[in-house]
Each structure stands twice: as C-alpha cells, then as structure tokens.
Structure 1
Amino acid sequence: MFDFFKKKPADSATPQPVPAAAEVPVAPPAPVPDQPPSAAAAPAPDAPVDQRSWAVRLRDGLSKTRAKLNAAVGPTLGADVGDVMSDLFSRRKIDDELLDEIETTLLTADCGVDATQYLIDEMRKRWKRDKLETGDQLKGVLMELLEGLLTPLQQTLDINAHKPTIIMLAGVNGSGKTTSIGKLAKHFQAQGKSVLLAAGDTFRAAAREQLQEWGRRNDVTVISQDGGDPAAVVFDAISAARARGIDIVLADTAGRLPTQLHLMEEIAKVRRVIQKADPTGPHEVLLVLDSNIGQNALAQLAAFDKAVGVTGLVVTKLDGTAKGGVLAAIARTNPKPIRYIGVGERIDDLQPFVAREFVEALFDVAPTR
C-alpha cells in the first residue's frame, strides 16, 4: 500500500401476463480481438488469457492507490516524493508526526474517517505497548490491522444450497454490473455449474444485446424480452431454469441512482417477484460498486441495501482507481461481505476476495502463502 514504508523506492405482486420471454440462441464465440463491453456495443470475445498469476495482477491493479498515497505524503514534507519514500522511515524513529502523515495517506486513499481513526488509534496503542521503534515494525502492524479489519468481509458465496441458486445483481449504470455477470457466469462454469442469464435490464440502451453477447461468449442461454416488465423476465428465467435443471440464475436489473426512489422501487419489485417464483429466493443480492467513486460507494450501499437487502458486494475497476481504501471504509460503516473484486477487463479478472491477498498487494509485498 505504502511505498514509503520501504527503505528504497520500489522500481409485490405476481407479474401480469406479458409476451413470452425470448430464448436467445447460443452461437460459438468468434475469434476477434478482446475489447471491453460498452453501453453501445456488446463485448468482443476475450484475447488469450493473461498468464500472470492473480497475485501479480492484483498487485499491479492496485498500483494507482499506492501512487496516490505516495504523492499525498511528498508535498506534506516539502520534498520530492521519491526522496521522501526512500528514507522516511529509515532516518528516524516512530513519532507523532509520522502517525499524522500516515493518517493523511489513509484519508487520501478513501479509507474514510471512521476506519482511518480506528487504524491510527490502534497503531498508536501498539507503538506504546510494544515499544515499537522502526518504520518496518509499524508497517507490519498496519498490515495486520488492515487484514483484521477486512477478513470478516471475506465470505465465500454458497452456490450449492439451492437449485437453482438465484443471484440478483444491482448497481448504478456504469458500475460494471452487466460485465460482472458475464465474468461470474464464466467463473461458475469453471466450477462445473450450469448457468442461465436473465436480461432484466430492459431500460438501458443496448443492455439486452450486451448480455446476449456475454451469453454467446460463455455458451449460456439468455432469457430476454423486447422491453416490458423486468420482473416478468426474471420470473420466466427462474421457471426455465427449474424446468431444465440449471444450477444458477444470474438476474440483471436496471441501473439506478440511489436518489431515484421511484425507480429503486422497480428493483424492489423484481425481488418480490423472485420470491413469488421461489419463496427461498433470491439467494444472493449482489451490489456491484465501481471503486472509482470512493466514499460515494457508502451512500450507494445504504440506498440499495434499504431497497433490496444487499447480501454481498462485487467491487470493480480497482485497477483504474486510487481509491482502493474504500474497502476499509465499507468494513467499518456497513460491513457487507465482499464476494468478488475486479482488476481488469478480461474475463478472468474477477476473483473471490481474500483479505490477505488484498493487503499484501496493497503494500506490494511478496505473498506469505
């Protein structure tokens, strides 16, 4: 997370009858170059799989957060960032000034006031209690505290308790929701599960086409309609999955801003209709959060949780942001399980969240196991 810890800089109701949902025929993916999905066009099939390990990709994906933290400290001391990072901790013992600088960097990384205050207070206690002296010792304490803060959010999604397991996905437009559905479909297939997609985002332009392309890429059936009631689409998808013995239903929903209360009610209706189709469902309500929004993620989480009861999070685009500390803020203010994190556009760049992996990548240290 912080290169400056180093001694040298590192090189409702049942839906009314509607026209039957269309089942999208699946075709093999065409060999064309990889491109990220967009609102206007469906994604092209993937390029060859990135051969780097997940740990390396995660470390590289969090580089912007590290860079922002470094840049925040340099001006504070009135020196060149590289020079500051090289000897900030090697030239003096731990003191209050050093803790103040760490506090600034945590806030800059969008850890939030609550999480930052907790971390600083605990570091100060450990400094006094254990008589810490060096920057390396303090770094070890901060890593330990962050891992302890994030580990309760590391909870594996259970996809074996129900058949079909109904997973409803929500999130604002642009968060990467539909793309995440495609990646999750591939992830579950790799575990030997059959998947069906419900194109419940009937309002956004090209959303249905985008999900259909993900269905073609993964050789997965997509249930959709031309417009109409998104809840009815999801109802039809669950019925189809039950008839065919499908393991998992991934239900897309229309993107909403938390302030659009009348539109948020539409998502709540989808949840109620899922419960009509299966009284035990939905078995998971995943909220997709774009990590670029930083502290705004907390407001989105609170609004969607109130509307549909969020049970887990997918945090995307960590490779494009300097606000990776928002996970710590979530842990302190609204600790929902973080099921998956994403650090790229490739189909395998969405992986289960593991607190130790995240902290080690954030601090750019070698994995300990």
Structure 2
Amino acid sequence: MDPLTLIIVLAVAIAVLAGAGLALLRGRGGKAPQAPSAPRPGTDYAPGVGDDATPPRDAPKRSVQDVDVLDREPELGDELEALPPIEHPDEPRGRLHRLRARLARSNTALGHGLLALLSRDTIDEQTWDEVEETLLAADLGVGPTTELVARLRTHVKVDGVADPAGLRAALRTELVALVDPTMDRELAVGGGLGRPAVVLVVGVNGTGKTTTVGKLARVLVAQDKDVVLGAADTFRAAAADQLETWGARVGVPTIRSDRDGADPAAVAFDAVNAGIEAEADVVLIDTAGRLQNKAGLMDELGKVKRVIEKRSPVDEVLLVLDATTGQNGMRQAKVFSEVVNITGIVLTKLDGTAKGGIVVAVQRELGVPVKLVGLGEGPDDLAPFDAEEFVDALLA
C-alpha cells in the first residue's frame, strides 16, 4: 500500500472512532465538553450555606450497618407514631359511686343539714320550720318540700321514730321516693333499622353544653358505640374546634361547616347523613347556646329539629342545665321543653352546689328524668344518674 493510501485510511478510521465516541456520550445523556465561560465580574462563586459539596472519590463509604436511623427519610409509620394515642374512657357504670365523696362534700345542706335538724333532742314546730327552709333553700321546690315535711312528721309523730338511725333511714326512704327511681333514665341510643340514633343537645349559654357533648361521646365510646359528632353551634367560633378536639381524643369524627355563621340546620342534616353512610350507632348534635327569652333563636332551634327529622327521627333531646342556677334553670327548662320536646336532663356542675334539690324540682316540672350529671371538670366526670346512689351521696 502506497503512503498516500495509508494516510487516507488512517484519517477515515480516526474520524469513525471520534464519531462513535461522541454518539456513545450523547446516548448516555452526556454532552460534549465545552470550554468554560469566563467568570462574570462581581459574581461570588464560593459555595453557600447548605450547598452540597462533591465528595472525593477516595472518601470512605459507610455500610448499611453504619447508617444511623436519623439519616433516613421519615415514613408514614413515623407520622402515625407521632399522633396522640386514642384514649379509652372509663366504663360509665360505677362513675357516680366512684365520685360519691365529691358529691357528698358539695351537698351538705340537703343531707347533713336535715339530719342535724332531725337529730335534735326535741323536734318542735320551730324545728319543722327550719327543715322546710332548708329544703326550699336546696331548690327542692314548694310542692316536694311540703310533701317531704308531711311524711317526716308522720314518721316522727305516728310511727314514733326518734333515734338518729331511724330518722336517717326515714329521710333516705322519702328522698329516694321524691327523686323517683321508677323513671326510665336509659339514653335512647338504640337507633332504628338501618339508621343511627340521633341525640340533639340543647341549652342556654354557659351551661357547659359543648363540653357535655364531648363527655357524652366518651360515655358512648366506653359502651362500644360508633359515634359521629355534629358541630351545629356555628355562632361561636371556637365551638366546632372544641368539639372536634373532644372527638379526636376518642377517635370520633366531627362534621362541621367550613365557615362561621353557617346554617346550623344544614350542618345537623349533614351530620345525620354522615352517620347513616358510616353506619354509626349514634349521632350527637351540639347546638348553639341561646337565651330562653329570645324568640328568634328558639324558633331556629325548632327548625334544626325539623330539618333533622326530614332525614331521620330524633331519638333523644337532652337539655343541659347548670345546677347552680336553681330556679332560673327551671324557667329555662320550661321554654326549651315547649320548643323541642325535651326527653332528658343533663345537670352540670352538680359538685359545685349545695342545691341538690334541683334534681327533684326539674323532674316534677317537666315530667322527664335527669339522665346524666356532671360532677367535675375531668373528661370522665359525666355519670349516668342513679336515684339511690344520689341520695346515698347526700346522706353519706
């Protein structure tokens, strides 16, 4: 091969090899090397805080065993572990007995006061007048007070009961009769065929209504009920947040509006719908507190109940009363019963009053039972009411 031919062959081979190398580089996502551009005047090319530095090739490599757990990305399991644990409320049965000492300390006027009067050496007319005053001061009401005094007089004068033990037994018997253990105090939470039970909770401002709904959810969860909460108090900005917090603590969902001032009837309707779709056992509806003398607000409460009943019957309407308000609570109860047909009473703050007679008075006035009592600020301080336990606490 002559020299000219050899030079041509070598040149072609070099060109083919260079083209193949460039094609291979581009096929791997690379780019042909370019000449570095001149630095711009005034530009800081030093690495900043947080910039990644390229590790040298001879940097030591860490094995899987050397990598600390904190180096890995957080996983879904980590987020779940960070959530607060679901609480398991106390069994409702026995709560009133467990809190008996607290109730006894607060209701000395009705129990201990009467026992002190009836244990005097001589029970004369002045003593009976003092007994009557004590009962009236305890918010027992005029009718029940007259009945109780007449029966106690009979025990003393006719039956000849004079010793402290006999008088205490007679007082217990008559108080239990007044509180009436024959009343049905079971919550109507059985529901119906293919639908949850619907419980509407109503009351005036300041009675602890939203807190009572949250505590009632705990009572029902402790009874293995699936519960849905409805935040139909749309006037108080924090009410829905407060209720949602109560529900989250026991794993109960809360249906609420995205905006303040929404139609409470619509929220209540949505909550009942959600309960039906989720096949829940109970839907608890919290309503806005309202003054009993505001006709517009009371009419709106009636509307909430009517709208709910387009989707499902209302099984229970609970009126929350502050036990410390005494006879004023009685006037509230009358108006609410006329608007929404009250089926049960929840007495809150019973541990903060010596006026335990309100239990008897409100039952006599409305003809409906006290079903639950609030005995403190703890999350499980809402107890199913029991007539005999209540009287025993008064006389403890």
TM-score (norm 1): 0.77
Q: Which residue among 129, 153, 166 is the counterpart of 2:158?
A: 129
The 2-side partners of 1:27 and 1:178 are apart by 29
The 2-side partners of 1:165 and 1:149 are apart by 31
Match of 1:235 in 2: 269
Q: Is the Cα contact below 8 Å between 1:61 and 1:344 reproduced in 2? A: no
Partner AA of 2:141 in structure 1: G
Local SS of the residue matching 1:277: coil
The 1-side partners of 2:171 and 2:333 are apart by 26
What are the superposed Cα offsets for residues 269-294 of structure 1, whole Å, 9 maximum, x if unpaired? Answer: 0000011111xx11000000110101
Q: Which residue among 117, 128, 132 is the counterpart of 2:146?
A: 117
The 2-side partners of 1:158 and 1:30 are apart by 31
Q: Is the Cα contact below 8 Å between 1:119 and 1:145 reproduced in 2? A: yes
Q: Which residue among 331, 341, 351 is the counterpart of 2:373?
A: 341
Match of 2:101 in 1: 59
- Of structures 1 and 2, the larger Rg is shown by 2
1:137-176 aligned within 5 A: 137-150=166-179, 151-162=181-192, 163-176=195-208
Q: Quick one: structure 1 residues 152 and 261, their matched pair in 2 at CA, closer, same or farther if it must change by over 3 Å? A: farther
* Structure of greater relative contact order (alpha carbons < 8 Å, 6+ residues apart): 1
Unaligned runs of 5+ in 2: 1-79
What are the superposed Cα offsets for residues 250-308 of structure 1, whole Å, 9 maximum, x if unpaired? Answer: 00111011101111111100000011111xx1100000011010111111110000011
Q: Is the Cα contact below 8 Å between 1:94 and 1:135 reproduced in 2? A: no
Local SS of the residue matching 1:170: strand
Q: How many residues align?
A: 310
Q: Which residue among 101, 105, 128 is the counterpart of 2:134?
A: 105
| Residue 323 in structure 1 maps to residue 352 in structure 2 | no
Q: Percent identity?
A: 42
Q: Which residue among 383, 390, 393 is the counterpart of 1:351?
A: 383
The 1-side partners of 2:280 and 2:108 are apart by 43
Q: Is the Cα contact below 8 Å between 1:59 and 1:362 reproduced in 2? A: no
Q: Quick one: structure 1 residues 285 and 29, their matched pair in 2 at CA, closer, same or farther if it must change by over 3 Å? A: farther
Q: Quick one: structure 1 residues 48 and 355, their matched pair in 2 at CA, closer, same or farther if it must change by over 3 Å? A: closer
The 1-side partners of 2:168 and 2:288 are apart by 43
1:161 Cα offset (Å): 4.0
The 2-side partners of 1:202 and 1:28 are apart by 31
| Residue 267 in structure 1 maps to residue 301 in structure 2 | yes
Local SS of the residue matching 1:257: coil
Q: Is the Cα contact below 8 Å between 2:89 and 2:380 reproduced in 1? A: no
The 2-side partners of 1:215 and 1:89 are apart by 48
1:283-294 aligned within 5 A: 283-294=315-326
What are the superposed Cα offsets for residues 147-200 of structure 1, whole Å, 9 maximum, x if unpaired? Answer: 112124452113224230000000011111111111111111111110000000
The farther-off stretch of 288-297 and 130-139 is: 130-139
The farther-off stretch of 110-119 and 349-358 is: 110-119
Match of 1:35 in 2: none
1:29 Cα offset (Å): 6.7
Match of 2:280 in 1: 246
The 1-side partners of 2:279 and 2:124 are apart by 62
The 2-side partners of 1:209 and 1:27 are apart by 23
1:89 Cα offset (Å): 5.1
The 2-side partners of 1:106 and 1:194 are apart by 42
Q: Is the Cα contact below 8 Å between 2:202 and 2:209 reproduced in 1? A: yes
Q: Which residue among 189, 194, 197 is the counterpart of 2:229?
A: 197
1:30 Cα offset (Å): 4.1
The 2-side partners of 1:161 and 1:314 are apart by 20
TM-score (norm 2): 0.72
1:206 Cα offset (Å): 0.9
Partner AA of 1:106 in structure 2: L
Local SS of the residue matching 2:161: coil
Local SS of the residue matching 1:252: strand
Q: Quick one: structure 1 residues 300 and 272, their matched pair in 2 at CA, closer, same or farther if it must change by over 3 Å? A: same
Q: Is the Cα contact below 8 Å between 1:149 and 1:331 reproduced in 2? A: no
Q: Is the Cα contact below 8 Å between 1:178 and 1:252 reproduced in 2? A: yes
Q: Quick one: structure 1 residues 140 and 69, their matched pair in 2 at CA, closer, same or farther if it must change by over 3 Å? A: closer
Unaligned runs of 5+ in 1: 1-25, 32-44, 74-83, 365-369
